């Protein structure tokens, strides 16, 4: 997906006034170095000297309908036409990945959805599909509220049981391992929404043919990223690495711009790689 390069003009009159050419050059080099400093804290990342509270939030580029809803553990772009999310984004820290709460919660409509525009238990009854989490309950074991909110239907999609309990679950567990190793991950998951999606139940819930997950490790000298694409089916004897793709590939399929708060040059390098180097 094409991204436009944005140039920022910086004025620093306090420091440049009266400085010699050599001193001004030194300061310029220091500013350039600081421009690409990344510091990861709880729910906060410094990107190009701009404090970004939720750097995991993507932007739709495909014109789909959305309602942005913020919950304790994740943010969702909810599509009222298909009754599923366009995307679900969150940060997973090492501390959160080590949460010890038991999985618990009831699948219920999201009370923050505008109008009666959400799926229900009846839609999934005897459908043959699992109620698949996009932000997994296993990532929310650090908070009772976050755990309960992960069962809102805005965070749920119809998933093949073999996918939900198989390779999709394996990737969720791998993400917790990476979060513990690197300190923090930025994660975006969702379905690829197409006009031709089959529908489920009386609320006509969209049944995705494909799911994606993109992951960014924002720590270290430069951030790293990788994407994954899965058909909505069971995978047999398929390693997670075999489904790895570049984030650029997921952007082209989904019509979503991931990690737009990062500088263009950083996005360009981070989102082009599909190599498994973790």
Q: How many CB atoms lie within 10 A of CB 250?
A: 26
Residue in 33, 71, 133, 203 annotated catalytic: 133
In angstroms, the CA 58 to CA 77 distance is: 9
Q: Is-catalytic flag, 133?
A: yes
CA distances from residue 180 to 125, 170, 217 in whole angstroms, order as listed:
37, 16, 11
Residues 6+ apart with CB under 8 A from 163: 132, 211, 230, 231, 232, 233, 234, 235
The 3-class SS string of 43-86 reads: CEEEECCEEECCCCCCEECCCCCCEEEECCCCEEEEECCCCEEE
In angstroms, the CA 125 to CA 150 distance is: 20
Are 225 and 215 a contacting pair, CB within 8 Å?
yes
| Residues carrying an active site annotation | 133
């Amino acid at each position: 997906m094409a991204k436009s390069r944005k140039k920022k003009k910086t004025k620093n009159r306090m420091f440049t006034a009266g400085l010699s050419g050599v001193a001004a050059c030194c300061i310029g080099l220091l500013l350039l170095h600081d421009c690409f400093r990344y510091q990861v804290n709880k729910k906060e990342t410094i990107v190009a000297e701009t404090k970004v509270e939720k750097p995991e939030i993507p932007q739709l580029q495909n014109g789909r309908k959305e309602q942005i809803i913020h919950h304790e553990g994740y943010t969702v772009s909810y599509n009222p036409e298909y009754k599923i999310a366009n995307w679900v984004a969150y940060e997973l820290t090492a501390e959160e990945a080590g949460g010890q709460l038991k999985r618990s919660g009831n699948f219920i409509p999201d009370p923050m959805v505008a109008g009666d525009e959400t799926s229900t238990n009846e839609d999934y009854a005897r459908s043959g599909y699992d109620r698949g989490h996009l932000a997994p309950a296993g990532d929310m074991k650090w908070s009772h509220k976050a755990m309960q909110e992960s069962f809102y239907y805005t965070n749920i999609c119809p998933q093949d049981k073999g996918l939900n309990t198989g390779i999709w679950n394996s990737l969720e567990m791998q993400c917790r391992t990476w979060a513990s190793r690197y300190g923090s991950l930025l994660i975006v998951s969702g379905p690829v929404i197409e006009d031709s999606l089959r529908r489920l139940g009386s609320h006509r819930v969209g049944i995705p043919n494909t799911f994606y997950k993109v992951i960014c490790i924002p720590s270290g000298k430069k951030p790293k990223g990788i994407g994954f694409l899965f058909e909505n089916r069971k995978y047999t004897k398929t390693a997670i690495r075999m489904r790895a793709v570049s984030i650029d590939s997921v952007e082209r399929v989904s019509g979503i711009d991931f990690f737009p708060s990062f500088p263009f040059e950083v996005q360009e390098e981070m989102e082009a790689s599909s190599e498994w180097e973790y």
